[in-house]
Chain A
Amino acid sequence: MKKLIWILLALIALAIAAGLYLYFKPVKDLTKSKPDFWFDDLRQLNEVLPNIENNPGAYIGKIFEISGNVTEYSAEPHGGGYLVIESKDFNILINAQLDHRVVKVNIQENRPCTIKAEFTGMEEDLIDPDVTIMYFKQAVILNPKTHQE
């Protein structure tokens, strides 16, 4: 009987621990995640854009690794911010929110950069309707090297 009580208590403790772990689990740090898709430049991404447009559900939530020239970025003092990757040759623009754990961003505008991030959707640009904006979040910077908290 005593043994049974101990087993029950252990199970309850385990359930509470699992619940607390799930509750406090932070959003995924993508640094060590394997990308589902990777593109060495925006030309490659531009080639598969029609597939993504036709079936966005198959791509949303997936992890992309993308390289390209940074045209705009903003880092926040305590981590996070955003960056934009675009090329004049293609009507495609990458708008990525940086993970809040990304600090001391070592990026220069008009210089190449590689990011890994979760794809969240795409929209027609308000500025130029010919341009498609691809949105990403929780972006981590693979190159150039950036400090992670």
Chain B
Amino acid sequence: MKSLLSTIFLAIFWLGTHQIAQSQKYLTRNGYVHFKSNAEVDDDVEAVNRSVACALDIQTGEIVFNVLIKNFTFRKALMQEHFNENYMESDKYPRATYKGRIVNLPSIDVSKNGKHKIKLEGTLTIRDIPKNRTDEAELEIKDGTFIITSAFGVACADHNIKIPKLVADKIAEVIDVDFRVELKETSSK
């Protein structure tokens, strides 16, 4: 009887902790990232990627982004080709990642709807070159969905993206990036 009770207790405890562990993860496979080069000569150098994977652990505030470079879509074919072959070398460096955490997440009541300014600290890795950074973003909690939006600059030089002098006036040294992810609670295996 005693062993049966302890088995039931252990089973309830395991189920409980497992439930908590599952409910901590919020994810998306279809985040949106857009960038635009606001150079001296406006040349519409911009692209969109709607297949960005992002995961957030709301207990620790840890956040991960995974971006496949070849998924960026341009309007002009030649720009897309140059982006992949000359600037990003996407065959050699197929993905960009961001690993960091939302520093002030513990001070936010995640059980209530609302908008909050958040601070992200982490490492952005593009072309296998990591760069530590701190960024501001907005977190909207809406009926259990975590919507994170932000806009920031990425300096080409930080990730050894070389811009030929011939097109230096068409491509900005700092690229304007914005993203939006809608993270939903997902039970993982």
Contact = CB atoms under 8 A, between A and B. Distances in A.
B70 A121 contact: yes
A135 interface: yes
Interface residues of A, number: 32
A28 B78 CA distance: 11
Interface in B77-98: 77-78, 80, 91, 94-95
Interface in B17-31: 27, 29-30
B76 interface: yes
Given A121-B68, A123-B68, A25 B76 contact: yes
Contacts of B48: 80
Interface string A64-106: 0000000010100000111010000000010101001000000
A127 to B, nearest CB: 5
A28 B186 CA distance: 36
Given A126-B29, A129-B189, 6 more contacts: A23-B76, A80-B50, A123-B53, A123-B95, A126-B64, A127-B29
A120 to B, nearest CB: 4
A133 B29 contact: yes
Tell me the dominant secondary structure on chain B's binding face. strand
Given A81-B50, A121-B70, A127 B186 contact: yes
A130 B77 contact: no
Contact of B71 (A24, A74, A120, A129): A120
Contact of A95 (B51, B70, B80, B189): B51
B189 A128 contact: yes
Given A128-B188, A133-B29, A26 B70 contact: no
Interface of B: 27, 29-30, 48-51, 53-55, 64, 66, 68, 70-71, 73-78, 80, 91, 94-95, 186, 188-189
Contacts of A1: none
Contacts of A80: 48, 50
A97 B73 contact: yes
12 contacts: A22-B78, A23-B76, A23-B78, A60-B91, A97-B71, A120-B68, A121-B68, A121-B71, A123-B95, A126-B55, A127-B186, A135-B71
A130 to B, nearest CB: 7
Contacts of A125: 29, 53
A12 to B, nearest CB: 20
A145 to B, nearest CB: 23
A49 to B, nearest CB: 17
A27 B74 contact: yes
Contacts of A129: 189
